[in-house]
Amino acid sequence: AFQDCCPYKNSFIEKNIYSMLVLVLEDNPARLFYESLGAKKIDMLQIDIDGKKLKEAVYGWKDIRKVDL
């Protein structure tokens, strides 16, 4: 599953990049997909798009090598 969402995972690891962040709108159901892959919500941001204030969740993995594929 994680390979499908992140085809560059091995490239990151080869470059000693082990952590990863994604930002997703709080109302976007895709956030559940990231949670299912072990991402932890680490922050919430408020953004403005065309004058509309939206909440954006910041999800992260400390070590993508530990993500169960």
Decide which of 45 and 14 is more confident: 45
- Nearest-angstrom CA–CA distance, 37 and 20: 12
Residue ranges with strand state E in 1-69? 20-25, 40-49, 52-61
| DSSP per-residue letters across 16-33 | T---EEEEEETT-THHHH
Q: Encode pLDDT of 21-67 as tens digits.
A: 999 999 999 899 899 889 999 999 999 999 999 999 999 999 988 88
Band of the pLDDT at 11, cuts 50, 70, 90? confident
| Eight-state DSSP code of residue 7 | T
Mean pLDDT over 9-23 rounds to: 89
On whether the pTM is more than 0.85, the answer is no
